[in-house]
Structure 1
């Protein structure tokens, strides 16, 4: 029987849908809750654990109380033992994560599974380092580190292979995190905080997000010019985050948000850095609408990494046919044939939107590329 540790950060990703670009710190968590944010990490943990339904008799978990693990294991009918953290359970903080990691290190499970974002990975790495194999369930806003499955279900698939005795490589992967204050001010400052040993299997585990990628300014200008020419009158355009999409707002002569979502209509900025609730309201007010999103370099995500404002309900209301992807060919080649990834938090939607999507890669230059 395989013993697996589980640590869940209940607050991971809570700032994403409300446009706060992170969830590090009590003040941001409080602000996110005041804006109506909902906790997502429990649901994403259950999506990963659900993959283990047919092997539940072959694994045993050691975990934390309540929302930090026990609640989700009980909901999936998996056997577990609860560790005493010796801390009040609410509100949970980084201290809870680090204390749980210390207890896991003492226990030495075969694998430590955790749900969170880059801040959670940092906390666990600071305690565990390379002393335990670890695997992350992606549940945060910022997920640049290479220690996570590409989706919650993919994390579960890796564990399923371990439990059933299939060969799974273990390799060192980087833990990276951004300065959230700089991030909110449109600056990307990433640091390497260490390495952890992560089971690798096929395309289930994501790469480290590329930093410092060469900006092909002429190509970006071509993409932006093409988008501007094709924009329809009285159509709401939701322009996602990233340098590629920022070139579009620059082409329009408006001040765009590098790391947020901007609403544009008739070439004018309607609203800047909108959150999920604001996007929902705009979609009700503007029946003609489109979203312009870029591809995340190195990983291939188009939904679920830094743009959680595009929730499952937003995507359904938007419609797959109204999604316009933009990317340089250099970024696409960097995927080495790996498919694009949609990690909306809703497995059915992710499956429904799989297939092939068109990507604008230059002026009137488009390619077709697979979506997992």
Structure 2
């Protein structure tokens, strides 16, 4: 079984200002250390990672030397690779931002970071849109909505993702309080942006009649979402299957049940295309690929949609792939990953460890992907 890749960034200075009475750690870490305050970020991270120990054989961490992650991972026996180098002095915001960029380039499914609101600001300044991140609360100020409620909760949610549980993606605000103003007795908070964070997924069966999720209602919801968010001039490739065919019907579009169709600006511009026709339509043109999973089996590519060839996938871009599947369909996999089998081993290896799944109105899940 291939490893699930998780990025880890620890801000070793996070939380130092609290015990020292500094109302935060920004610019005060050295003074706090001089007062004998002990760093606690690694201990908080350890609590989170302890929840992942039963899954240790399935995970590989990507992290950074010493106190930024490598030291703790080695102590706990997790498989890990270290990226980059650190200087001799205390870590800085620039170190955190470089770490984010390197982890994204390595294609990790999730970036775990330990810190406070200052750390969240640094993450927000460097992360690309849509990259899932999750904060382990270790700072003095935890105002941002990107942190788990506790280190243990951060570990449990990450374990759920690795195990194939349904994990919803949401948008969390990054906010920070001006520490200098706070030390003067004034509370001044500021919004710095938003990050994509995982939430507990759940099946939410109680919202449907009889406690059973209705696929017809879900497809109607998805159609309403998609109709309100069409990107002008972008070509949407609909793969085969009843899920996408039903989605198209809810949009008032006539697509083929077992073929591949192309939609642009809310209209079908090509129906039941072959591989060569599809490549000509997407090569050099902005496109999005929508596929679904084979129920109970989990393949999203390589079974019944060979028109979506490796060159087509490269032309569209793996970042522009979306899986459309109800939570009920994902539940038939019983935690097994979704699968790709394009016939190109190099391309298969380039897929991320987890993919976005559209599962309802403005509802995205993060689900593991294997080969």
1 CA distance for matches of 2:129 and 2:18?
29
The structure with more radius of gyration: 2
Please list the CA deviations of residues 295-350 of structure 1 after superposition, one character each: whole Å capped at 9, or x if unmatched: xxxxxxxxxxxxxxxxxxxxxxxxxxxxxxxxxxxxxxxxxxxxxxxxxxxxxxxx
- Equivalent residue number for residue 122 of structure 1: 121
1 CA distance for matches of 2:91 and 2:141?
19
Superposed CA RMSD in Å reads 1.4
After the TM superposition, which segments of 4 or more aligned residues of structure 1 sit over 4 Å from their partners?
Answer: none
- Equivalent residue number for residue 134 of structure 2: 135
TM-score normalised by the chain length of structure 1: 0.52
State yes or no: 1:64 paired with 2:64: yes
- Equivalent residue number for residue 150 of structure 1: 149
TM superposition shift of 1:69: 0.3
Aligned length: 200
DSSP-derived class of the 1:43 partner: helix
Please list the CA deviations of residues 37-83 of structure 1 after superposition, one character each: whole Å capped at 9, or x if unmatched: 11000000111001111100111100010100011111211110000
DSSP-derived class of the 1:12 partner: coil
TM superposition shift of 1:181: 0.1
TM superposition shift of 1:130: 2.4
DSSP-derived class of the 1:14 partner: coil
- Equivalent residue number for residue 276 of structure 1: none
DSSP-derived class of the 2:51 partner: helix
Please say if residues 165 and 201 of structure 2, whose CA atoms lie closer than 8 Å, have aligned partners that are also in contact.
no
- Equivalent residue number for residue 6 of structure 1: 8
- Equivalent residue number for residue 89 of structure 2: 90
Q: 1:202/1:37 Cα in 2 relative to 1: closer, same or farther (>3 Å)?
A: farther
State yes or no: 1:192 paired with 2:191: yes
2 CA distance for matches of 1:69 and 1:131?
23
2 CA distance for matches of 1:64 and 1:121?
18
Q: 2:26 is matched with which residue: 24, 32, 57? A: 24
- Equivalent residue number for residue 167 of structure 1: 166
DSSP-derived class of the 2:18 partner: coil
2 CA distance for matches of 1:173 and 1:65?
28
Please say if residues 108 and 132 of structure 1, whose CA atoms lie closer than 8 Å, have aligned partners that are also in contact.
no
- Equivalent residue number for residue 73 of structure 1: 73
DSSP-derived class of the 1:45 partner: helix
TM-score normalised by the chain length of structure 2: 0.53
Structure 1 unaligned spans of 5+: 204-372
Q: 1:116/1:156 Cα in 2 relative to 1: closer, same or farther (>3 Å)?
A: same
Please say if residues 147 and 196 of structure 1, whose CA atoms lie closer than 8 Å, have aligned partners that are also in contact.
yes
